[in-house]
Amino acid sequence: MGCDNRRMNDSSQKPDSGTTHFGFRDVPKGEKQKLVGQVFSSVAQNYDLMNDLMSMGVHRVWKRYFVGTAQVKRGDRVLDLAGGTGDIALLLRDRVGASGSIVLGDINGSMLRVGRDRMTDMGKVAGFEYVQMNAEKLPFPDGSFDLVTIAFGLRNVTDKDAALREMHRVLKVGGQARVLEFSEVKADWFKPIYDFHSFKILPRLGKLFANDADSYQYLAESIRKHPPQDELKAMMQAAGFARCDYRNLSAGIVAIHTGYKV
């Protein structure tokens, strides 16, 4: 399947249309959560391996930078949404120290179990809490966390605006929210190469190593449907965040968005 790199995101849908995107397909809003759940239940056991293969290991550099530049200190309480297999939570653990705590949240039980089992196998037990939750309706009181992070998960949320509002709500005043997500490649010369990798290589890797080409086709499509950098910044501002900004990494393949609760 080819792609002309056009950005076809949620803003192209009518507010009252009752549909949203699942990759390049339009589906009823009520069905997207189930469809995304099926994707991540399918890929959970091979998620880390596939991340390494898809990004040639660069995702680990992105994640370290994401956590290393976060506003977090020892003793802080952190919520890591779409925590998956625990990469971000594990990096955050060193930042918050023994007196801090991290809630690793994910809507998908299979991903959450993989993350919990991985941490347990590593002997990383203290200071972690695992909660299956929907980012659009967080089960926490207002002002519960010093930092809220979501890495490579926002694009899979049906109502991104609701999720951003919830992230803002559960932050303490002065707290920071950070979003690490695939974004819009900025270098024109690189776009055809990136498209070829996304739509030709990724599904084949998925078929070869995870016996699942369709899920990785969806993941490539979901990147193209995600709001680009300036649009996501505006969405964070609309959700109530102040001092919103973003930083492109790897020519815009991914971007880190930051906002604060004031």
pLDDT of residue 57: 83
Token code pair at residue 85: 């297999």
Helix (H, G, I), strand (E, B) or coil at 76: coil
C-alpha distances in angstroms, 147 versus 75, 193, 238, 245?
Answer: 11, 36, 19, 16
pLDDT of residue 28: 84
C-alpha R_g of the chain: 17
pLDDT of residue 213: 79
Q: Where are the alpha helices (DSSP H) in 136-182?
A: 160-170
Spell out, as residue ranges, where the chain has pLDDT lower than 70.
Answer: 1-17, 22-25, 27, 35-47, 49-50
Backbone angles phi, psi at 83, to 5 degrees: -65, -20
Q: Is 10-260 CATH 3.40.50.150?
A: yes
What are the tens digits of pLDDT across the range 113-144?
888 998 999 999 999 999 999 999 999 999 99
- Residue 29 CA to residue 33 CA, distance in Å, equals 8
Triad 207, 104, 40: Cα angle to 5°: 20
Domain ranges of the chain: 10-260
C-alpha distances in angstroms, 175 versus 7, 34, 101, 206, 248?
Answer: 31, 32, 15, 38, 22
Q: How many CB atoms lie within 10 A of CB 117?
A: 12
pLDDT of residue 3: 39
Q: Please choose, from the candidates 13, 261, 43, 40, the residue with its C-alpha nearest in 3D space to the C-alpha of residue 160.
A: 13
pLDDT of residue 104: 95
